[in-house]
Structure 1
Amino acid sequence: MKYVTLDAQVGELSGVLDPARYLSRLSSISGDLPPGARAFAMDTDHYDFHSRRCVKDLTLRAVRGAGGEDMEIEFRHNCWKHDQDLLIRYAGVSSFVIDPVDEGRETDLGTVILDEILPHKDGCSHEIACWEGTLAVVCRDLQATWTEAICSSAS
């Protein structure tokens, strides 16, 4: 099984705006991911910048259950690109980091640039880079669900 430490991942993700390097490694590590994480990471639309199910350009809406074993992170669609919101449920959370931590900002980290899901000794790690900060969750597994959204600026 291949594991990458959380510190190494943060450095890799924060400096990469082209997912080519991650995608080239994904097929070799996907078998080491838990089932839900593997399904989300291997979804062909996940990293297709033209897809309505690409995580790029989503906006962080809410973080629920931080500090607990189960938590959720909800992302809001961008009307010009997406027609669905994304809810990610994490089970067996062993670590959660939001950076930078700024109580006045709450969940205002800007839009999503990229995310990476990698095998971890506890299951998987999921890092999400936004323009203004990052989120990192280590968990036993995750489940991503896309839900219909109503866009107020749609014509």
Structure 2
Amino acid sequence: MKHVRIEPDEFGFSLDPQPYLEVLPGLAGGMPAGAREFATEPGHYDFSKSRCVKDLALEGIEFGESDSLTLRFRHNCWKHEEDLIIGYIGVTDYHVSVELDGGRSRLLLDEVLPDSGGCRHELVFRDGTIAITCGDLVATWIDAECPDK
């Protein structure tokens, strides 16, 4: 990632989205509408908020019609009240180096950047990465059930 800092440490990982948050206001205008809305959503990088992406579990990757892709994330009952689905439109490039392994592929953080054809979304997991270049993305939060709540 270009701005978000993720470093291994003795407790797992040190995460610092602050450098990205400092440049995000200047980057947001160059992003397509869906990407801009997702990246700038209040709480996206606030670890105490339920719509922070940290700790979501990658549940599925679906390849659609020729240039579409969908990532499905399952909530973490300790933190989230919703699952997240991100649909990518006009996909021109993607790289996946993370395994679907029953919920252990937990998202550390992500970063959305403007790109000449739309945007680039990079996601870093505890055990790999996903990077998608596309025309735009649509992020949808849907209610989830947590038996402990």
Q: TM-score, normalised by structure 2?
A: 0.87
Change (3 A) 1:32 1:24: same
Q: Which residue of 2 aligns with 1:5?
A: none
Task: Name the structure 1 match of 2:137.
Answer: 142
CA distance in 2 between counterparts of 1:67 and 1:61 reads 20
Q: Is the 8 A contact 1:58 1:111 kept in 2?
A: yes
The answer as to whether partners of 1:14 and 1:129 remain within 8 angstroms in 2 is: no
Does 1 or 2 have the higher relative contact order (CA < 8 Å, sep 6+)? 1
- Aligned partner of 1:34 in structure 2 is 32
5+ residue gaps, structure 2, are: 8-14
Cα distance change of structure 1 residues 21 and 45 upon mapping to structure 2, 3 Å threshold: same
Deviation at 1:122, TM superposition (A): 1.4
User: CA RMSD of the aligned region, Å?
Assistant: 1.8
Q: Given the superposition, is the C-alpha separation of residues 67 and 14 from structure 1 closer, same or farther in structure 2, using an over 3 Å criterion?
A: farther
Bigger CA drift: 63-72 or 91-100?
A: 63-72
Whether the 8 Å contact between 1:59 and 1:77 is mirrored in structure 2 is yes
Query: Quick check: which one's helix share is greater?
Result: 1
Is the contact between residue 4 and residue 19 of structure 2 (CA under 8 Å) also seen in structure 1?
no
Distance in 2 between the 1:14 and 1:45 partners? 18
3-state SS in 2 of match to 1:62: strand
Aligned partner of 1:133 in structure 2 is: 128
Greater fraction of residues in strand? 2
Equivalent residue for 2:41, pick from 28, 43, 50: 43
Equivalent in the alignment of 1:4: none
Residue 121 (1) aligns with residue 146 (2)? no
TM-score by length of 1: 0.84
- Match for 1:56: what amino acid? K
1:110 aligned to which of 105, 126, 129: 105
Call closer, same or farther: CA 1:67–1:130 in 2, change over 3 Å.
Answer: farther
Q: What's the % identity of the aligned pairs? A: 42
How far does residue 14 in structure 1 lie from its aligned partner after superposition? 6.8
Residues 25 and 64 (structure 1 numbering): CA distance in 2 closer, same or farther, change over 3 Å?
same
Contact 2:3 2:20 in 1 (8 A): no
Residue 45 of structure 1, CA deviation: 1.3
